[in-house]
Structure 1
Amino acid sequence: MTVPLAGVPLADHAAVYAALDRAGFTDVWSSEVAGTDAFTPLALAVAWQPRLRLGTAIAPVFTRGPGLLAMSAAALAEAAPGRFALGIGASSPVLVRDWNAVRFDEPFKRTRDVLRFLRAALRGDTVDEVYDTFTVRRFTLERPPAVPPPVLLAALRPGMLRLAAAEADGVILNWLAADDVPTALGELGERRPGFEVAARIFVCPTEDATYARALGRRLITGYLTVPAYAAFHRWLGRQDSLGPMWEAWAAGDRRGASAAVPDEVVDALILHGPPEECAARARRYADHGVDVPVLAVLPTPELTAGGAAAWAGLLPRLGATGGEAG
C-alpha cells in the first residue's frame, strides 16, 4: 500500500499501519511529490508496525545530495534491517526544476551515477569518485547499515530498464496497465536471482464509474503529458488512443485534452469498481510478472465522507485476495 493514506494525519497512522498488517498487506511504500517526504512515513512505520516491509517509490536523485540520500537510506536500513528497499528515480522537471530549484540535466546519467554511488556508499566504502554528473570526495558513512538495502530503479523505457537490469537490485514501474507489464519486462532480459519488480497501481475503489473516470482523466492528463510519460506511452503503443489528448494539450486546450482521453485508457490505468474487484484486477499485475503490486488508493466520495471509519472498512476489502497484493 502507498502511504500515507489521503486525508489521514500522519499522527494517526499508527492505527493505519496496524490495520494494513491485519488486512494482510506485507509492504508500505512511500512517494515524494509535494506531500510528505519519502522517508518520514516509513520511519513512523518502523516504530509503529515492525512487521511491515518498507520502500520508497521514489526518492528523486536530483533533490538531495548523494551523501544525504545515502544517510537517509542507511538510517532506515539500520532501523529496519532487511526490511527496507530504496527506490530511486529521475522524477520530473516540474518537481526537480520548478519546485526544488535544481537543474534537471541528463536524467539518465544522473540516475546511473547516483545508483553507482549508493551501491558503494551503502556497503560502507569510502567514495572518492568523479562521475559524469557530480563529484564526491572521500565520503564514508559513519553508520553503514549491517544489511545494505536493495536499491531499485524507477524505469519507463528501454534505456532505464536495461540499466536497472544491469546494475540495480530491482525495478519500479509506474503508470502502466497490467497488459503492458510484459512489454516493460521484456527489456530486462533474464532476471538475476533476487531481482525484484515493483509496480504502483492506481486504485479508485468506488462503484461510481462516472466519478472514477472523471478523476482518472484529470490524472492522466496531468501525468501523461509530461514528456517522459508521453514517450513511454507512445512506446507502449498508445499513439492513436492518446494522440488527441497530446494534440489538445500542446495547443493549450487543457479541458479538451482531458475530454479526449478514451474510457478504455482510463479503465486500463485506473482500477475502479468494488474494492474486491480492484484487488483482483491488481493481482493481474502479479500474474504478468510483478513481484510487489503497490496499491495507490485515490480519493473517493465514500472515503471523503466517511473519513477514518471508511478507511477502516476499506482496507480489509482491498486485502481480501491475500497479502501479496500489498
Structure 2
Amino acid sequence: MTVPMSGIPLADHAAVYATLDRAGFTDVWSSEVNGTDAFTPLALAAAWAPGLRLGTAIAPVFTRGPGLLAMTAAALAEAAPGRFTLGIGASSPVVVGAWNAVRFTEPFRRTRDMLRFLRAALRGETVDEVYDTFTVRRFALERPPAVPPPVQLAALRPGMLRLAAAEADGVILNWLAADDVPRAVAELGERRPGFEITARIFVCPTEDAGHARALGRRLITSYLTVPAYAEFHRWLGRAEVLDPMWRAWADGDRRGAGAAVPDDVVDALILHGSPESCREQVRRYADAGVDVPVLALLPTPELAAGGAAALGTLIARLGRPDTDGS
C-alpha cells in the first residue's frame, strides 16, 4: 500500500500500519511529490510496524545531493534492517525545477550516475569518482548499513528499463495497465538474481463509476500530459486514443482534454469497483509479471462519509481474503 494515507495525520498512522499488517499487506511504499517526503512515513513504519517491508517509490535523484541521499537511505536501512528498499527515479521537471529550484537536465545520465554511486556507497565503499553529471570526492558513510538495501529504479521506456535490469536490484513501474506489463517486462531481458518488479497501481474502490472515472480523468490529464509519460504511452501504443487529449491540453482546453479520454483508458489505468473486484483486478498485474503490486488508494465517496472506520473496513476488504482484518 502507498503511504501516508490521505486525510490521516502522520501521528495517527500507527493504527493504519497495524490495520494493513492484519489485513495481509506485506509492504508500505512512499512517494515524494508535494505531500510528505519519501522517508518520514517509512521511518514511522519502521518503528510501529516491524512486520512490514518498506520502500520509496520514488526518491528523486535531483533533489538531494549524492551523499545526503546515501545517508538518508542508510539511516532507514539501519532502522529496518533487511526490510527497506530504496527506489529512485528522475521525477519530473515540475517537481525538480519548478518546486525545488534544481536544473532538470540529462535525467537518464543523472539517474544512472546516482544508481552507481548509491550501490557503492551503501556497500560501505569509499567513493572517489568523476561521474558524467556530478563528482564525489572521498565520500564514505560513517554508519554503513549492516544490510545494504536493494536499490530499485523507476523506469518507463526501453533505455531506463534496460539500465534497471543491468545495474539495479529491481524496477518500479507506474501508470500502466495490467495488459501493458508484458511489454515492459520484455524490455528487461536478462535480470540480476533477486530482481523484483514493482508497480504502483491506482485503485478507487467504489461502485460509483461516475466518481471513479471523473477522478481518473483528472489524474490522467495531469500526469499523462507530462512529456515523459506522454512518450511512455505512445510507446505502449496509445497515441491514437490519447492524441485528442494531448491536442486539447496543448491548446489550453483542460475541460476538453479530460472529456477526450475514453472510458476504457480510464478503466484500464484507474481500477474501480467493489474492493473485492479491485483486489482481483490487481491480481492481473501479478499474473502478468509484477512481483510487488503497490496500491495507491484514491478518495471515494464512502471514505469521505465514513472516515477512519470506513478506511479500516476498506483495507480489510482489499487485503488477503484469508484474513479477517480484526
TM-score, with length taken from structure 2: 0.98
Tell me whether 1:187 sits opposite 2:195 in the alignment: no
| CA displacement 1:153-182 (0-9 Å, x = unmatched) | 000000000000000000000000000000
Cα distance in 2, alignment partners of residues 322 and 123 from structure 1: 39
1:262 maps to what in 2? Answer: 262
Cα distance in 2, alignment partners of residues 220 and 257 from structure 1: 10
Matched position secondary structure for 1:128: strand
1:249 maps to what in 2? Answer: 249
Cα distance in 1, alignment partners of residues 44 and 307 from structure 2: 21
Cα distance in 2, alignment partners of residues 225 and 255 from structure 1: 14
Cα distance in 1, alignment partners of residues 138 and 320 from structure 2: 50
Identity of aligned residues (%): 83
Matched position secondary structure for 1:116: helix
2:149 maps to what in 1? Answer: 149
One-letter code aligned to 1:137? R
Where do 1:2-17 residues align within 5 Å? 2-17=2-17
Cα distance in 1, alignment partners of residues 318 and 225 from structure 2: 30
Matched position secondary structure for 2:203: strand
**Conserved? CA contact 1:246–1:257, under 8 Å:** yes
Where do 1:161-172 residues align within 5 Å? 161-172=161-172
**Conserved? CA contact 2:202–2:271, under 8 Å:** yes
One-letter code aligned to 1:39? F
**Conserved? CA contact 1:280–1:321, under 8 Å:** no
Matched position secondary structure for 2:118: helix
**Conserved? CA contact 1:276–1:320, under 8 Å:** no
1:88 maps to what in 2? Answer: 88
Per the TM alignment, residue 190 of structure 1 is displaced from its structure 2 partner at its CA by 2.1
Cα distance in 2, alignment partners of residues 122 and 320 from structure 1: 34
Matched position secondary structure for 1:152: strand
**Conserved? CA contact 2:207–2:274, under 8 Å:** yes
Per the TM alignment, residue 240 of structure 1 is displaced from its structure 2 partner at its CA by 0.9
Per the TM alignment, residue 321 of structure 1 is displaced from its structure 2 partner at its CA by 4.1
One-letter code aligned to 1:280? E
Per the TM alignment, residue 28 of structure 1 is displaced from its structure 2 partner at its CA by 0.3
Per the TM alignment, residue 148 of structure 1 is displaced from its structure 2 partner at its CA by 0.3
Cα distance in 2, alignment partners of residues 84 and 321 from structure 1: 26
Cα distance in 2, alignment partners of residues 322 and 72 from structure 1: 36
Per the TM alignment, residue 192 of structure 1 is displaced from its structure 2 partner at its CA by 2.5
1:317 maps to what in 2? Answer: 317
For structure 1, the residue ranges without an aligned partner over 5 or more in a row are none
Per the TM alignment, residue 320 of structure 1 is displaced from its structure 2 partner at its CA by 3.4
**Conserved? CA contact 2:166–2:191, under 8 Å:** no
**Conserved? CA contact 2:25–2:320, under 8 Å:** no
In structure 2, do the counterparts of structure 1 residues 281 and 322 end up closer, same or farther at CA, with 3 Å as the change threshold? farther
**Conserved? CA contact 2:170–2:197, under 8 Å:** yes
For structure 2, the residue ranges without an aligned partner over 5 or more in a row are none
In structure 2, do the counterparts of structure 1 residues 322 and 223 end up closer, same or farther at CA, with 3 Å as the change threshold? farther
Matched position secondary structure for 2:146: coil
2:230 maps to what in 1? Answer: 230
| CA displacement 1:286-323 (0-9 Å, x = unmatched) | 00000000000001111112111110110010003469
TM-score, with length taken from structure 1: 0.98
Matched position secondary structure for 2:81: coil
- How much is the aligned-residue C-alpha RMSD, in angstroms? 0.8
One-letter code aligned to 1:234? R
Matched positions, count: 323
Matched position secondary structure for 1:149: coil
One-letter code aligned to 2:132? D
Matched position secondary structure for 1:187: helix
Cα distance in 2, alignment partners of residues 190 and 65 from structure 1: 31
Cα distance in 2, alignment partners of residues 119 and 20 from structure 1: 30
Cα distance in 2, alignment partners of residues 122 and 256 from structure 1: 48
Cα distance in 2, alignment partners of residues 147 and 208 from structure 1: 45
Cα distance in 2, alignment partners of residues 89 and 191 from structure 1: 19
One-letter code aligned to 1:237? G
**Conserved? CA contact 1:279–1:321, under 8 Å:** no
**Conserved? CA contact 1:73–1:86, under 8 Å:** yes
One-letter code aligned to 1:35? G
Cα distance in 2, alignment partners of residues 110 and 296 from structure 1: 27
Tell me whether 1:307 sits opposite 2:326 in the alignment: no
